[in-house]
């Protein structure tokens, strides 16, 4: 029996952080043996907001290196550059014709980035159309490979829901062409919050670099960020959901995930200690946790990554072209 397919990807913008790893990339590595795994560096998505061309090229290669350094095996996982398979963009156009603008304007990510408020008011509207169509390109990425499963962060589930909607709509309107994908979100990924604003999720687009532990942070940088992490004035360690304890809760969650424990157990271990002790030990654990990823990253050359991209392109182009042709024929274009 052939394996099912999972598809996922990360934008090559900003610096990948602990939340990206625990909430996404680590999960891909964990299930790569069970699935036909396709992992994309979504550089077309990245240009929905302004990018420096040279930086975009560099970051695209860097993200692929981090995929491999984080445990993805290029012999088992298809790691590719989104722009190398133009059928994604062509399928996006076909899907655009059955997508309602109202559906796109409701997307939380679009509203956040465009300034459009839930009541219809707007602070700014000078954004590109690509940002509005972001979810349709994401749908094309997934549907063109008949992905059965899409591992994503909780903030992306709305986009996968519209992918499922568009697949059903196309299948009903024309013929059964697309597989309806399932969503997988990691419980760990939901728990990684900003170090400076712990009621918000850790983000690579946040203005302050102190808000996140980046996968390539030097040990001293990791220690400084953890020691500066927002907590509260109580200096009493226990685990609960009180908003004022959100900073402590976040540190306990991170500590528990990377030590394969529970936050309650970590809190019990430190109940007679202060925040400084907890932060110092967490920083030490994080440094050791990220060390293997950083060491492997530094051994991967740009040439190796470009060779992987070339090989993956040759493997994926026939698959993408075949699915696109089926979709075009269903519509009446071929």
Asked if 118 and 248 sit in the same domain, the reply is: no
DSSP, residue by residue, 84-139 = G-THHHHHHHHHHTT--HHHHHT-HHHHHHH-B-TTS-BS-----HHHHTHHHHHH
Residue 162 and residue 213 share a domain = no
Residue whose C-alpha is closest to residue 205's, from 218, 217, 194: 194
User: pTM of the entire structure?
Assistant: 0.91
| Residues paired with residue 38 on neighbouring β-strands, in sequence order | 7, 78
The CATH number covering residue 246 comes to 1.10.240.10
The CA–CA distances, whole Å, from 168 to 69, 103, 135, 143 equal 37, 15, 15, 11
pLDDT in tens, 195-221: 999 999 898 888 899 999 999 999 999
| Same domain for 261 and 179 | no
**Residue 118, φ and ψ in degrees, nearest 5:** -65, -25
pLDDT one digit per residue (tens) for the chain, 334 residues: 588 999 999 999 889 999 999 988 998 998 999 999 999 999 999 999 889 999 999 999 999 999 999 999 999 999 999 999 999 999 999 999 999 999 998 887 777 776 655 445 445 556 788 889 999 999 999 999 999 999 877 777 888 999 999 999 999 999 999 999 998 877 665 679 999 999 998 988 888 999 999 999 999 999 999 999 999 999 999 999 899 999 999 999 999 999 999 999 999 999 999 999 999 999 999 999 999 999 999 999 999 999 999 999 999 999 999 999 999 999 999 8
**Under a CB-based contact definition with an 8 Å cutoff, are residues 114 and 122 in contact?**
yes
CATH code of the domain in which 327 resides: 3.40.50.620
What length is written for the chain? 334
Catalogue the active-site residues.
113, 201, 204
Q: What SS3 class is residue 242?
A: coil
Judgement on whether residues 159 and 198 belong to the same structural domain of the protein: no
Q: How far is CA 279 from CA 8, 39, 49, 230, in A?
A: 33, 34, 36, 11
CA end-to-end distance (rounded Å), the chain: 32
266 and 125 in a common domain: no
In the chain, how many domains are there?
2
Judgement on whether residues 166 and 237 belong to the same structural domain of the protein: no
Q: How far is it, in rounded angstroms, from Cα 157 to Cα 101?
A: 19
Q: Which domain holds residue 86?
A: 5-185+301-331
In sign, the C-alpha dihedral spanning 129, 163, 189, 9 is negative
Q: Are 184 and 150 in contact (CB under 8 A)?
A: yes
């Amino acid at each position: 029996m052939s394996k099912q397919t999972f598809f996922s990807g990360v934008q090559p913008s900003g610096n990948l952080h602990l939340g990206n790893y625990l909430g996404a990339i680590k999960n891909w590595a964990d299930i790569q043996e069970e699935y036909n795994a396709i992992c994309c560096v979504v550089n077309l998505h990245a240009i929905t907001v302004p990018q420096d061309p040279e930086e975009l090229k560099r970051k695209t290669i860097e993200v692929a290196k981090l995929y491999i350094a984080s445990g993805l095996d290029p012999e088992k996982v298809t790691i590719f550059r989104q722009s190398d398979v133009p059928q994604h963009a062509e399928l996006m156009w076909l899907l655009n014709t059955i997508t309602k603008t109202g559906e796109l304007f409701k997307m939380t990510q679009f509203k956040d980035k465009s300034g459009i408020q839930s009541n219809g008011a707007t602070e700014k509207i000078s954004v590109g159309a690509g940002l509005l169509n972001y979810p349709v390109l994401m749908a094309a990425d997934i549907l063109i490979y008949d992905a059965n499963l899409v591992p994503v962060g909780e903030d992306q589930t709305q986009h996968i829901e519209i992918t499922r909607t568009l697949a059903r709509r196309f299948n009903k309107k024309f013929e059964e062409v697309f597989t309806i994908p399932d969503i997988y979100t990691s419980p760990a990924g939901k728990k990684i919050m900003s170090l400076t604003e712990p009621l918000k999720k850790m983000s690579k687009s946040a203005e302050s670099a102190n808000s996140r532990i980046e996968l390539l942070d030097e040990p001293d940088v990791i220690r400084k960020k953890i020691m500066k992490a927002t907590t509260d004035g109580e200096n009493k360690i226990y685990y609960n959901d009180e908003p004022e304890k959100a900073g402590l809760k976040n540190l306990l969650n991170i500590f528990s995930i990377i030590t394969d424990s529970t936050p309650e157990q970590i809190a019990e271990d430190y109940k007679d200690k202060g925040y400084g002790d907890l932060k110092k030990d967490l920083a030490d654990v994080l440094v050791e946790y990220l060390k293997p990823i950083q060491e492997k990253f530094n051994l991967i050359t740009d040439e190796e990554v470009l060779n992987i991209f070339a090989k993956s392109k040759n493997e994926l182009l026939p698959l993408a072209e075949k699915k696109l042709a089926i979709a075009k024929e269903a519509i009446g274009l071929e």
